[in-house]
Amino acid sequence: MPIKSGKQYIERIDRQNINIRYKGELIQGPLSKHPAFQGIIQTQAELYDMQGEESYIEQMTYPSPDTGERVGLSFLPPRNAEDLQKRRLMMELWAKRHNGFLGRSPDYMNTAIMSLYTAADILEEHNPKYADNLRAYYRYCRDHDITLSHAFIQPYACKMSGQQDAAEDTIAAKVVEINDQGMIMTGAFMMATQGATCEEMLVFPSPSPTLFHDVNPTAFAFAVPNDLPGMTFICRESYGAASSYDYPLSARYEEMDVLVIFDHVLVPHDRIFYYGDEAYAGRLFGESRFHTHIAHQIATRYIAKTEFMLGLLESLADEQNVGLEPHMIANVSRIIAYLETFKALRLASELGASRDTFGYFVPSAGPLIASSMLFPQFYPEMVEMIQLLGSSGLIMIPSEMDFHSDSGPYLNQYLKGSTTEAWDRIALFRLAWELGAGSFGGRQTQFERFFFGNAQTVAYRMYNQFEQHEQLRNRIQDFIAKNNTSSQLDGLEDQA
Amino acid sequence: MPIKSGKQYIERIDRQNINIRYKGELIQGPLSKHPAFQGIIQTQAELYDMQGEESYIEQMTYPSPDTGERVGLSFLPPRNAEDLQKRRLMMELWAKRHNGFLGRSPDYMNTAIMSLYTAADILEEHNPKYADNLRAYYRYCRDHDITLSHAFIQPYACKMSGQQDAAEDTIAAKVVEINDQGMIMTGAFMMATQGATCEEMLVFPSPSPTLFHDVNPTAFAFAVPNDLPGMTFICRESYGAASSYDYPLSARYEEMDVLVIFDHVLVPHDRIFYYGDEAYAGRLFGESRFHTHIAHQIATRYIAKTEFMLGLLESLADEQNVGLEPHMIANVSRIIAYLETFKALRLASELGASRDTFGYFVPSAGPLIASSMLFPQFYPEMVEMIQLLGSSGLIMIPSEMDFHSDSGPYLNQYLKGSTTEAWDRIALFRLAWELGAGSFGGRQTQFERFFFGNAQTVAYRMYNQFEQHEQLRNRIQDFIAKNNTSSQLDGLEDQA
Amino acid sequence: MPIKSGKQYIERIDRQNINIRYKGELIQGPLSKHPAFQGIIQTQAELYDMQGEESYIEQMTYPSPDTGERVGLSFLPPRNAEDLQKRRLMMELWAKRHNGFLGRSPDYMNTAIMSLYTAADILEEHNPKYADNLRAYYRYCRDHDITLSHAFIQPYACKMSGQQDAAEDTIAAKVVEINDQGMIMTGAFMMATQGATCEEMLVFPSPSPTLFHDVNPTAFAFAVPNDLPGMTFICRESYGAASSYDYPLSARYEEMDVLVIFDHVLVPHDRIFYYGDEAYAGRLFGESRFHTHIAHQIATRYIAKTEFMLGLLESLADEQNVGLEPHMIANVSRIIAYLETFKALRLASELGASRDTFGYFVPSAGPLIASSMLFPQFYPEMVEMIQLLGSSGLIMIPSEMDFHSDSGPYLNQYLKGSTTEAWDRIALFRLAWELGAGSFGGRQTQFERFFFGNAQTVAYRMYNQFEQHEQLRNRIQDFIAKNNTSSQLDGLEDQA
Amino acid sequence: MPIKSGKQYIERIDRQNINIRYKGELIQGPLSKHPAFQGIIQTQAELYDMQGEESYIEQMTYPSPDTGERVGLSFLPPRNAEDLQKRRLMMELWAKRHNGFLGRSPDYMNTAIMSLYTAADILEEHNPKYADNLRAYYRYCRDHDITLSHAFIQPYACKMSGQQDAAEDTIAAKVVEINDQGMIMTGAFMMATQGATCEEMLVFPSPSPTLFHDVNPTAFAFAVPNDLPGMTFICRESYGAASSYDYPLSARYEEMDVLVIFDHVLVPHDRIFYYGDEAYAGRLFGESRFHTHIAHQIATRYIAKTEFMLGLLESLADEQNVGLEPHMIANVSRIIAYLETFKALRLASELGASRDTFGYFVPSAGPLIASSMLFPQFYPEMVEMIQLLGSSGLIMIPSEMDFHSDSGPYLNQYLKGSTTEAWDRIALFRLAWELGAGSFGGRQTQFERFFFGNAQTVAYRMYNQFEQHEQLRNRIQDFIAKNNTSSQLDGLEDQA
């Protein structure tokens, strides 16, 4: 079964029998009809449809090496420069479609599982069965176009608990039993973004260290369908609602975050990717070049989002007749400079790509980490530009219903722009409000800031991969060593 | 009739027959029971009750010079240093109660109308009747403890329209007819914050200049009850809901902003404060020291809010066991430094107060403008501290309903803190979310940024009131003029 | 002997027989004639003269309680609010005279020694002789108007050495012998600013901890004349030269920093203030409120310097006809806001003053620390404003000699301003250059940044003195505790 | 005559008979022996020598199309991608050698004259003779390896004067006479960096507009040797001196800025590039892609300088044992991120290169302008990192002479580092001082900030070349246009 259509995506999501709670109540009926989910499901469906459109299919898919059917290009493990470019082009098409707002458009996890797959060999020595499981699972996802989410981060108390003692009493995620059918696992995960609007979930926590057990019960990775017995999804509140006039962003791009509880969930043997030895957590991430492959996808998203912000800022400025004022030129040019920067860094990562130990072609890490250091600081700056430009216009904005009510004529008369109708002007301000002052925008800012971990974590990643520390220090040392001494200059001094 | 109680406040609001629309529908039934208004009305009622409490009545009220009954101290026109201190103490008590979140706690408009009253004399030459009207209205507000809002700002298109031509076709707010009963007025105003939760509204737009009319129809000021025929209030959407667990701030402090439409509203003659001569708009604001009196109230609010932010930041840091990390000490100390600054500036404004031309005692403007320049830039900085500290904890937060549902035990188990229960920990994070990433917080940031106009407007205000420009430039000129010349130094040079 | 005149100051400095080296050579002849020192000595002489001028003597001096002769007011230990105001007024007069550029104008160390004196009682239990010494030394300085410097900071290697082992081999400053005549001391100190242009030096290092000795040889404080045998002063290079046209700031305000070496210097018994017990280092600083008294003087200096920067920025803007452009108004207003801030903080410190355990009246620490947190970050910002405004005009500037040469007519013709002569225009740009791009300015920026220790040190000081941490956290806790619950709101919800 | 050697360069400079004044006095004797010039001349000589070294000659030169002899590669007009890469490699070799500190290393003006040459065709319609002159001059420079400076900017009063009236009385640079031998020109130019250490000068002012003359006397460009009668060079003061221990940067990289006066200088006919028609000023710059070619050279310099700053920061951190502290990792990583950025932007400019109307291959402007927007803001940030890290260690530093004097043993004992000798430690701090607090560093910061004009000028350049304004605004408009309306959602709303 090849790439799926939007319709197939919706059917599969709706068919799932998942235990999901919103504001304390179990969601009944198809998820695709629920106001908190219908927008994002619709948006993802469009992405899936796009893959199969005649004008895109060549650029967005490739023939599965196993089935020959066309599968998503973001599953392609890159072997050379051309593969990297193909991947980028595919991701770019999706990113432009969702304007960079989907942190979990399908290519994100497609890339993630592809990346882990490329390092499956290291599991051979651990347990050849696990290596086979990982490879088989990757192929399954690719050939069935599985929509995947991931659960990596545990709640604070679980992490703390694990650090103190990885033994029985911990509330850290752990395997509590192994039996014929698989392993039984218990624990909780924060922030599985789009957890409920995917088919399956990759679970891969950071293990707690243990001194007391030969087999570390907190060290494991696996993938399961979303509707296994024992799984519970608890949603945060939705920030928008169905009207895309009132909530132009959240009505389309609201990626629900969920808290996922595993309460004695049975994970089948063939879905386990490693177990018991905490060393493999770090190795799988590191040797698969997980962060680098992912960062290549994200850089593409950054570019699409920056373009959207730029377009919005200029539209808002024009609407207020200030588009050519010096401070606007300064702000717009600053965004253009960053747009050039993100494009250039992505390009540099591709041109600096090199082959990893398994023969795959991996983008250069440095430019991509630079990109992931700069965007989290630049994104809030763009948001601030919009806030300052939108001013009180981001606050006193009526809603779609107001236009359709008796108040409509007043709004049409008084809220129009210089050349625009009130309905269009307010639509623009509602967009600016969602991004600059609404809850959707608030989450986006947090999301971008902490996407790759906090600033210090990313700084260490950059510091550690840099190979010129010694060389540049030596250059300074040589520079100083070549200082002349005054004795050599005696002849000159006399003339001073 | 003296100060009113909270109960009386609610009764008066509910008794009004105001034409108010929320999401396109006319609000029926008492406003104090409507989810979008119940919280703020309750909070204001508490403020009014406070005035009458035995422990506060001495500090918060004074005897009306007209009736002898106790009236609110924020109505007191200051005549000396002691009056200023009394006013500050009163405002401080209210500000601490609402933690600085109410931009329109009643003392704000009480101070505004008091300030205009102090300059009523200038209207004598314009029309003695208007001077009487203003004085009488002030006394009415004071002696009946009227809750007042104001409408100053017109929508963009109205301002533009007025600038081009203040004649018949303009959509700028204007008087369309004068008759026996009063003047008939038409126009629209943005951002009447708390417009609907007040009893009356002061309307005082910036007039458009006109070359064509002896009497400028856009130049006027008046005050009316909220429920005159022809008035329509259109609300923005509410950001919260009734549960103060889920929305701890908006459930208490959501000051609804409204768009107010005046459609041929008849303003009685005795409620007109000036009309026809645009010069009086600027004079009334300037000579009443409107901005300065108001800024004294606002500085007090800044202090209470900064204290709240400080307490929240420290609580959030403690909850995550990072309260003593160097960067937290740095952030906390930075807030303390600003707290000291706002306190010091308010103090300096009082100690530097001087008598105006009408004999009232006005705080020094410089320190207060400084305060209104610094807070709009420092407030977003504090918000950012909370965002960075709250991290993804501001996103994945369950709601009150989740705790009360089947998911409750999971939440209690997994979301607890080091020493706190999940219920309390999440309550803290929900508070941080509302301020740092929710719509309520988004509006607060915009509100603080533009409270006194945009940054450039406030900069001009500061620049213009500063009296030492010349003196300091001269100091530089004198400094340079005293440069010695090398000839004087001949003896010295030889030794160099 | 009462306050001294400028002439007396110069005579005393020149009379000293100090071992001082500049660029490797022993300075011979009177220091007041040496190009690297003549400017600052002249400036300090003017300050001393000022004290005795008829128009100032009342404000700048008071009768010595011991001799009845008039002594400098900055020696006055404040006993009440009036004393604090007198002190501030005196310091303000000096600060305006030197435009805030002298970090070590005499009132700085006068205040320092006064502050230590107020806590002399704590030495009684240590050794009554030391308490007497300190009191006597303070009286000696006050009654002879001694110009004092201080040496507190040891070079990096000395600090490191001391930390590892305070025993014999350390290069940390230490007492190597006690004999009949006094104690023999060896060590090195960085950054004795104005060390060579003072008469005496207060030496008060941070002791190294020791586990091995009952008497800690690194724990001591004393004061000595500058020309004891064994003392060597090593200067940094001077940044300016004699021409105050070319170097308007350094020709007047160049406070030479010196490295002071003590090589077996005999400190007389009656000049020792404590010895052997490291506890007294911290106690003397803490209980004398050293940092607070000093910060009161410094706040005064900040104000004078901010005024100078403001005058310079406006002069430079006017010279280039941009004084009324919006971004200049913004910058100027920003400086005014900070000027108001520093004034207000100083005022608040005085009004919040309280009596210490010895009965002296000490300004409130909070506002002063705020001031010392804000200035180090705001000063570089003002410098940047000057750099950006001065642009390349800070680079291509001719010197006084050029004006006096054959090139003079060219300069006069081509380098004039719109309304100014070239000579005056260039004088202004040279001033801006020294502050914004010259070595003098570079040192000033470093000096202001690290005046009170690095930013983190100051942050801890602020954090530790703040007494409301608990109270504000409790306010948050109470706020959350008062969250209503949805059950109470059932009636309301139905209407939502 | 091909590339020259360092020796030849020095000989040519010394042989010139230029009228140059330093601190009011005519410099006599060879310039290469004068303390203010010997360092930079030596450094440039090394660059010239490098070109001819066996290991570099292939990468740094190419055969002259006219003579077949090897000439400097920075003269090569790029015709394809390979040419661009060759140019970049050549410039990189020089930039690394001078660590990015020479704003006027010879490749800068070589590139400038090459760029003008590529657009010589546009002069054909103006005057074929001028087109020939420009081409011939380019060939002359290339084949004789002429070291060129430029004079573009006139003093403030000259610009003002020109704006008001370009007629006889103006002091703007202008042609005062044309005769058989050439044109006689008078005027003054600021900031001819390295003007005196070059052989010839390209003069190309912005013309003043004129309404009164058919032939605009302020519109012209030409090139002349430095020692024509009537030319006077007036230097700013030198910031360093001969000792590269004390002034490690200025002793090597001090590029003297000069004010150049032309007082009735006769410019031969064959050295005139355009005259009389102001349109050609803008066209020559624009159509030659002057800014873009130059920016390619500068981006290369930025990279070398950023590497130097990074090496210095890490060296300084290590010297103080703080290299692995979190805030240092953060700072170092930030520099690495920018290093990646500048490299990526340069790469993107090459890969995005395209053919101009004359058939030359021009790098893409966008990424290069981005680079020239980011560096002026990032450079001061790096300097600040060094200032904050160096702390007071940038102030109290002895000089080379001190080490060689009697004080030497004290310095060796007390100023050593943890693992370094005092001599080496102080050498490092002197380097940090020159960059972070000395006059050399002050000029560098100004120079980098205004290299390409002020920030607003560069912002306009970026804004104007961006071609997607319309496209991105349309994307927003389309986005809004696709808003669904609530009527479509009726079915959904019911479930909300």
Q: What pLDDT shows up at residue D490?
A: 42
pLDDT in tens, C193-250: 999 999 999 999 999 887 767 899 999 999 999 999 999 999 999 997 778 999 999 9
Residues 81-120 of C with CB under 8 A from B: 99
**Which chain D residues are closer than 8 Å to A492 by Cβ?**
33, 35, 38, 242
Put simply, the answer to whether D486 touches A431 (Cβ < 8 Å) is: no
Mean pLDDT of A178-198: 94
Q: Which residue of C has its CA nearest to B36?
A: C496
Is there a contact between B247 and B82 (Cβ–Cβ < 8 Å)?
no
**D336/C contact by beta carbon, under 8 A:** no
Chain C residue with CA closest to B32: the answer is C492
D495/A34 Cβ within 8 A: yes
DSSP assignment of B399-438: -HHHHTSTTHHHHHHHS--SSS-HHHHHHHHHHHHHHHTS
Tokens of C495: 């209407």
What is the C-alpha separation between A165 and A169, in angstroms, rounded?
8
pLDDT digits 0-9 by tens, A443-495: 999 999 999 889 999 999 999 999 999 999 999 999 999 886 544 444 333 33
In chain C, which residues have their Cβ closer than 8 Å to the Cβ of B308?
Answer: 472, 475-476
Residue whose C-alpha is closest to residue D303's, from D340, D258, D278, D267:
D340
| Contact list, B161 vs chain A (CB under 8 Å) | none
pLDDT, residue A490, reads 41
Least confident of A321-330, A351-360, C159-168: C159-168
Q: With contacts defined as CB-CB under 8 Å, which chain D residues touch A330?
A: 455-456, 459
Q: Choose among B307, B400, B462: nearest Cβ to C472.
A: B307
CB contact under 8 A, D21 and C405: yes
Residue of chain B nearest C351, judged by CA positions: B347
Provide φ and ψ at B88, rounded to 5°: -60, -45
CA distance D393 to chain C (A): 9
Q: Do B398 and A234 touch (CB under 8 A)?
A: yes
The fold of A6-286 is Butyryl-CoA Dehydrogenase, subunit A; domain 2 (2.40.110)
pLDDT at B496 over 70: no
Report the residue from B171, B232, B443 with minimal CB separation from A437. B443
Mean predicted lDDT score pLDDT of chain C:
94
Annotation: binding site of C: 193
Domain A289-468: which CATH number of 3.40.50.300, 1.20.140.10, 3.40.50.620, 3.40.50.280: 1.20.140.10
User: Do A347 and D347 make contact, defined as CB atoms within 8 angstroms?
Assistant: yes
Q: Do D388 and C237 touch (CB under 8 A)?
A: no
pLDDT in tens, D146-157: 999 999 999 998
Which amino acid would we find at residue C415? L
Structure tokens at C25: 């050579």
C-beta atoms of B417 and A156 within 8 A = yes
pLDDT tens column, C260-271? 999 999 999 999
Nearest residue on chain C to B369, judged by CA atoms?
C337
Lookup: tokens for A44: 């993802």
**Subunits in contact with chain C (3 or more CB pairs closer than 8 Å):** B, D
D334: chain A residues, CB-CB within 8 Å: 373, 459
Say whether residue C435 is in contact with chain B using an 8 A CB cutoff: no
The set of chains that have 3 or more CB pairs under 8 A with D is: A, C
Whole-number pLDDT of residue D168: 59
Judged by a CB distance cut-off of 8 A, whether residue D380 touches chain C is: yes
Measured distance CA(C313)–CA(C332) in Å, rounded: 8
B289-470 — its CATH code?
1.20.140.10
Instruction: Return the SS3 of B455.
Output: helix
Interface of D with A in 33-62 (CB under 8 A): 33-35, 38
Q: Token match 């373009």: residue? A: A307
- The model's pTM is 0.96
**Which residues does chain C have within 8 Å of residue D443's beta carbon, measured at their own beta carbons?**
394-395, 437
Select the residue of A234, A246, A393 nearest B402 (Cβ to Cβ). Answer: A234
**Overall average pLDDT of the A32-47 stretch:** 96
Segment C53-80 mean pLDDT? 97
* Chain B residue at shortest CA distance from A408: B24
Note the pLDDT tens digit of each residue in D218-277: 999 999 999 999 999 999 999 977 789 999 999 999 999 999 999 999 999 999 999 999
State the ipTM, two decimals: 0.95
Tokens of A297: 């996808």
Average pLDDT estimate for A393-407 = 95
Query: Among C18, C149, C156, C424, which would you mutate to test the D interface (most chain D Cβ atoms within 10 Å of its Cβ)?
Result: C156
Domain ranges of chain D: 6-286, 289-470
Binding residues of C for FAD are 193
The pLDDT, as a whole number, for residue A243 is 85
Q: Does C343 touch chain B (CB under 8 A)?
A: yes
Q: Which of helix, strand or coil describes residue C27?
A: coil
Helices within B174-325 (DSSP H only): 250-253, 279-287, 290-319
CA distance, residue B62 to nearest chain C CA (Å) = 27
List, in sequence order, every residue forming a beta bridge with A477; answer none if it has no partner: none
Residues of C in contact with D439 (CB under 8 A): 239, 437-439, 442
Backbone angles phi, psi at B483, to 5 degrees: -50, 130
What's the pLDDT score for residue A466? Answer: 96
What are the Cα distances from residue B122, in Å, to B132, B134, B239, B270, B285?
A: 11, 11, 43, 17, 11
Looking at chain A from residue 457 to 486, which residues have their Cβ under 8 Å from any Cβ of chain B?
none
Q: Are C188 and D410 an interchain contact pair (Cβ–Cβ within 8 Å)?
A: yes
Contacts of B305 (CB under 8 A, 6+ apart): B95, B99, B100, B101, B379
Contact C489 B341 (CB under 8 A): no
- Cross-chain residue pair A399–B237, CB shorter than 8 Å: yes
Indicate the average pLDDT of chain B.
94
Distance CA C347, CA B366 (A): 14
Minimal Cα–Cα distance from C6 to chain B, Å?
19
- Region B180-206: mean pLDDT is 94
Cβ of C445 within 8 Å of Cβ of D454? The answer is no
- For C154, residues 6+ apart whose C-beta sits below 8 A from its C-beta are C162, C172, C173, C187, C188, C189, C190, C205, C206
Q: Could you say which architecture CATH assigns to the domain C289-469?
A: Up-down Bundle (1.20)
Write out chain D's pLDDT in tens, 496 residues.
699 999 999 999 999 999 999 999 999 999 999 999 999 999 999 999 999 999 999 999 999 999 999 999 999 999 999 999 999 999 999 999 999 999 999 999 999 999 999 999 999 999 999 999 999 999 999 999 999 999 999 999 888 876 655 555 789 999 999 999 999 999 999 878 999 999 999 999 999 887 767 899 999 999 999 999 999 999 999 997 778 999 999 999 999 999 999 999 999 999 999 999 999 999 999 999 999 999 999 999 999 999 999 999 999 999 999 999 999 999 999 999 999 999 999 999 999 999 999 999 999 999 999 999 999 999 999 999 999 999 989 999 999 999 999 999 999 999 999 889 999 999 999 999 999 999 999 999 999 999 988 999 999 999 999 999 999 999 999 999 988 654 444 433 333 3
Task: Give the closest residue to A434 by CA, choosing from B442, C262, D27, B154.
Answer: B442
**Which DSSP string do the residues of A370-393 spell out, in sequence order?**
HHHHHHHHHHHHHHHHHHHHHGGG
User: Which backbone phi and psi does B425 adopt, to 5 degrees?
Assistant: -60, -45
pLDDT, residue B243, reads 85
Closest residue to B191, CB basis, from A153, A232, A392: A392
**What is the DSSP code (8-state) at residue C222?**
E
Q: What distance in Å separates residue D438's CA from the closest CA in chain A?
A: 17
State the smallest CA–CA distance between residue D69 and chain C in angstroms: 39
Q: Exposure string (b/e) for D200-227, b if CB count within 10 Å is 16 or more?
A: bbbbbbbbbebeeeeebbbbbbbbbebe
Can you say whether the dihedral through the CA atoms of B83, B87, B93, B96 is positive or negative? negative
Yes or no: say if C482 and C409 are a contact pair by the CB < 8 Å rule: no
Separation in Å, CA of A55 to nearest CA in chain B: 38
Distance from the Cα of D92 to chain C's closest Cα (Å) equals: 27
| Tokens coding A453 | 């971990």
Q: Among A245, A344, A369, select the one facing D348 at the smallest CB separation.
A: A344
Which residues 245-274 of B are in CB contact (within 8 Å) with A?
246, 257-259, 261, 263
The token duo for B333 is: 């100390």
Buried b (16+ CB within 10 A) or exposed e, B212-240: eeeebbbbbbbbbebebeebbbbbbbbbb
Decide: D187 and D173 in contact? Cβ < 8 Å: yes
- Residue D491 confidence (pLDDT): 39
Residue A453 DSSP class:
B
Counting DSSP H helices and E strands in chain D, the numbers are 19, 14
Indicate which of A239, A439, A454 best probes the interface with B, i.e. most B CBs within 10 Å of its own CB.
A439
